[in-house]
Amino acid sequence: MGDILKMNRMMIIGTGSALPERVLANSDLEKMVDTSDEWITSRSGIKTRHIAAKGEETSKLSTAAAMKALEMANIGAEDLDMIIVGTITSEISMPSCACLVQKNIGAVNAFAFDINSACCGFLYGLDIAEKYIKTNPDMHVLVIGAENLSARVNWQDRNTCVLFGDGAGAAVVSGSSSGRGMIGGRMYSDGRLHKLLWMNSAPSMNPALAIPDHDGSYIKMAGRDVFKYAVRALSQAVTDVLDQEGFDLADVNIVVPHQANIRILKSLADRLDIPLEKLYINVYKYGNTSAASIPIALDEANRAGLLPEGEMILLCAFGGGFTWGASLLRW
Ligand code: UT7
């Protein structure tokens, strides 16, 4: 608890999440592609995922999650200084999803922008917010991870369509001198591996810049390779952030990881030599919601009373880019 003396940490003061109403079960997918509940469950741990309908676009889900986080933080939207949305599936390319959220909630005093770092969007967002808050602890920042991946999967491709889901999670953060808050983070990228997990943009309107043989703007993934890198990279990030901040795994009370696949989480727990029970897991309900998965899990754990004050929480994520990272927080 030596870290408790450090001042001006970025603390999460409110969380919120929102999920589309429609739930798609593995039994529904069996009628759409050549798959089975048994295959999906045994290979991924996923049983259901939420699928957005009209009116549940990324900015709308983000707005609903933001309102809940603001309510818990007990501040008004006009008190926000900055809004960051991690997303790769905003419903429009310009303006940013963050600007749409700003408009929807009336955060007239904030500046707003999106970041594209796939499943690491929320972690990268928290990391950026922390740097601002360290120099100006009075700031209030809204960090969101939100996705509408169902709009960007190929529903004929059984390799990918069974894995992803839609949703949004949000956190309101501000400065605190109580010793609670973010202790530190480690973020990484390796663009050399981008073709293992990627998604084309829409076809270009400028023929000179058109991508030859554009085969749709769907998520494409070399699942086995991603799996191997994910386990290695996640355990490296976790070890590095603990070393950097002078802690070890025994100090961590709960790990809230990106929810991609139960087998990745089991392999991670094995590699770190920690019991699986130390990980908060909800992938079976929501599938892989990319940038939204950590803030949804965090909000769920928070509202269920699973994050007692003073406990050490470790967040870690891995995704397209590749991007990966880990953050350590005193709750
Ligand atoms: O957010 C981070 C991004 N993504 C991830 O973390 C995902 C990482 N990867 C994975 O989770 C796993 O690699 C998958 C769950 C995607 C796939 O599991 P796998 O054990 O690596 O299976 P595989 O891709 O090697 O495929 C094995 C077999 C293949 O059939 P053949 O070639 O052996 O006859 C696939 O065609 O399973 C087949 N298959 C399916 N069968 C039924 C692939 N998808 C399906 C499906 N239903 N949905």
Domains in the chain: how many in total?
2
For residue 6, the model assigns a pLDDT of: 53
Q: For residue 97, which of 105, 109, 107, 89 has the smallest C-alpha distance?
A: 89
Single out the residue in 159, 178, 197 at which a domain terminates: 178
Q: Are residues 39 and 188 in the same domain?
A: no
Q: Are residues 131 and 165 in the same domain?
A: yes
Where does the pLDDT of residue 247 fall: very low under 50, low under 70, confident under 90, or very high at 90 and above?
Answer: very high
Q: Are residues 152 and 206 in the same domain?
A: no
In a domain, 313, yes or no: yes
Residue with the smallest CA separation from ligand 1 atom 3 is: 319
Q: Are residues 19 and 74 in the same domain?
A: yes
- Residue 43 CA to ligand 1 center (angstroms) comes to 7
For residue 188, the model assigns a pLDDT of: 98
Whether 159 is catalytic is no
**Identified catalytic residue from 50, 258, 302, 316:** 258
- Residue 221 CA to ligand 1 center (angstroms) comes to 10
Q: Are residues 150 and 210 in the same domain?
A: no
For residue 216, the model assigns a pLDDT of: 86
CA distances from 276 to 142, 188, 264, 294 (A): 31, 25, 11, 17
Single out the residue in 178, 200, 221 at which a domain terminates: 178
Q: Are residues 32 and 138 in the same domain?
A: yes
Query: Which of 227, 228, 268, 324 to probe ligand 1 with, by most ligand atoms within 8 A of CB?
Result: 227
Helix/strand/coil (H/E/C) assignment for every residue in 244-278: HHCCCHHHCCEEEECCCCHHHHHHHHHHHCCCHHH
78 vs 7, higher pLDDT: 78
In a domain, 1, yes or no: no
Where does the pLDDT of residue 327 fall: very low under 50, low under 70, confident under 90, or very high at 90 and above?
Answer: very high
Q: Are residues 193 and 128 in the same domain?
A: no
Q: For residue 167, which of 148, 153, 151, 187 has the smallest C-alpha distance?
A: 148
Whether 282 is catalytic is no
Where does the pLDDT of residue 151 fall: very low under 50, low under 70, confident under 90, or very high at 90 and above?
Answer: very high
For residue 305, the model assigns a pLDDT of: 97
Q: For residue 154, which of 235, 221, 222, 247 has the smallest C-alpha distance?
A: 221
Where does the pLDDT of residue 7 fall: very low under 50, low under 70, confident under 90, or very high at 90 and above?
Answer: low
In a domain, 2, yes or no: no
Residue with the smallest CA separation from ligand 1 atom 44 is: 159
For residue 202, the model assigns a pLDDT of: 87
Q: Which residues line ligand 1 (CB under 6 A)?
A: 35, 39-40, 43-44, 119, 158-159, 162, 197, 221, 223-224, 226-227, 230, 260-261, 264, 288, 318-319
Q: Which residues, listed in sequence order, are joined to residue 315 by a DSSP beta bridge?
A: 256, 327
pLDDT > 70? residue 17: yes
In a domain, 165, yes or no: yes
Whether 261 is catalytic is no
Q: What is the mean pLDDT of residues 15-41?
A: 98
Residue with the smallest CA separation from ligand 1 atom 12 is: 223
For residue 211, the model assigns a pLDDT of: 86
Number of C-alpha atoms within 13 angstroms, CB side, residue 19? 20
Q: What is the mean pLDDT of residues 125-136?
A: 96
Residue 127: how many CB atoms within 10 A of its CB?
A: 22
Q: Are residues 170 and 22 in the same domain?
A: yes
Q: Are residues 121 and 174 in the same domain?
A: yes
Q: What is the mean pLDDT of residues 236-259?
A: 98
* Structure-token pair, residue 312: 């050490």
Residue 225: how many CB atoms within 10 A of its CB?
A: 13
In a domain, 47, yes or no: yes
User: Can you give the CATH number for the domain in which 121 is found?
Assistant: 3.40.47.10
In a domain, 257, yes or no: yes
**Domain that residue 30 falls in:** 9-178
In a domain, 3, yes or no: no
Q: Are residues 82 and 211 in the same domain?
A: no
Q: Are residues 169 and 34 in the same domain?
A: yes
Where does the pLDDT of residue 3 fall: very low under 50, low under 70, confident under 90, or very high at 90 and above?
Answer: low
In a domain, 200, yes or no: yes
Single out the residue in 178, 213, 229 at which a domain terminates: 178
Model confidence pLDDT, tens digit, residues 274-302: 999 999 999 999 999 999 999 999 999 99
**Identified catalytic residue from 26, 148, 261, 288:** 288
Q: Are residues 207 and 325 in the same domain?
A: yes
pLDDT, mean over the chain: 96
Query: Which of 219, 261, 266 to probe ligand 1 with, by most ligand atoms within 8 A of CB?
Result: 261
- Residue 278 CA to ligand 1 center (angstroms) comes to 26
